[in-house]
Amino acid sequence: MAKLIVVDVTLRDGNHSIRQQFTPEIAAKVAAALDAAGVDIIEVGHGDGVGGSSIHVGRTAAPYQQLISAVVSSVKRARVAIMLLPGFGTMDDLQQSFDLGATVARVACHCTEADITEQHIQLARKLGMFTVGYLISFGMATPQRIVEEARRMESYGAQYVNLAESQGYLVPSQVREYVHALRESVKIPVGFHGHNNLGLAIGNSLAAVEAGAAYVDGSLKSLGGGAGNTQSEALIAALKRGGFPTEVDLFGILDAAAVLTDELKKHPDLAKIPMPAVDNDAIMMGYACVYGGYIQPVKRAAMEYGCDPRQLVIRLGERKVVATQEDVVIEEARRLAGIT
């Protein structure tokens, strides 16, 4: 079996957990520790990618350019990655990221919208970046549809396709099915990015690897949206216990987690923010396949209209809501309350 490539997303997806407040100083120290541990690729930026900083989804503590520069200057061997969501990030953001030293571009979209990534994937390849097609919330579509979208990204020039299980909704047998379908249908490698809403992020990551995934994402201390990402420290330990080849050092990744914890403690406002947990809210969002960012609108609407927030989450899952459709939250809350 070829060596697994580990992508650490603490400094990007983990930014969601601390309200986008990673500073360049924190990013530099955490990246240096990840690099020393042997992590292959380190992703950095706003939780929603370069260009994501805004009032609507949260402003970063520093411009993404400063975060990239801090990480690039602190690593010796790891490649530095950015994520770009067309609509948040632009072609200019991609060019700037490359100019600052990012060498990996993960171009992302909702799992059924690969066609919006064509020009960004092509520009990243033209720049000479290692280019990834990144399908968000892939559990919301069938394996057959995901194969179609992955083939589009492959045709645009993506060098591997990453499956992001953004709601923590799938179970290991389902993850195997998706990864197997892709491995049978595309020529490029497959990666997996898990979330932990049902407590299955490690199990799902191992299932993906068993089915042939060559890249796997993790985040220190499980920082990330919803109940958090696959925890990098636990992931490396599980991979080594399972006999899967990775050059990431177990003691090193544990040390990196300790560095992150120490850095957050130095900032009282960040230290007070609750860390991701598999609590009742997270379980319901995962069970219903609803993006974790909806939890506050759900709670507000349930209180205003006097309905059960759990039933509201189930309704939203049945509607297959995608992030920012907050009007649907109110619509379904009114229906549950019997208001026409």
Query: What residues pair up with 81 in beta bridges, in sequence order?
Result: 43, 104
Tell me, yes or no, if 195 is annotated catalytic: no
Select which of 16, 46, 120, 193 is catalytic: 16
Distance spanning both ends of the chain, measured CA to CA:
58
Helix (H) or strand (E) holding 8: strand 5-11
Q: For the purposes of burial, counting CB atoms within 10 Å of the CB of 210, is it exposed (0-12), middle (13-18) or buried (19 or more)?
A: middle
Helix (H) or strand (E) holding 41: strand 41-44
Task: Report whether 256 contacts 9 (CB < 8 A).
Answer: no
Picking from 2, 30, 43, 37, the residue whose alpha carbon sits closest to that of residue 250 is: 37
Supply the DSSP symbol for 219.
B
Q: Which residue has the tokens 């530095």?
A: 80
Query: What residues pair up with 334 in beta bridges, in sequence order?
Result: none
Picking from 71, 91, 56, the residue whose alpha carbon sits closest to that of residue 14 is: 71
Task: Report whether 235 contacts 24 (CB < 8 A).
Answer: no
Distance CA 141, CA 161 (A): 15
Residue 217 corresponds to which tokens in the numbers above? 């994402």
Distance CA 132, CA 158 (A): 5
Active site residues: 16
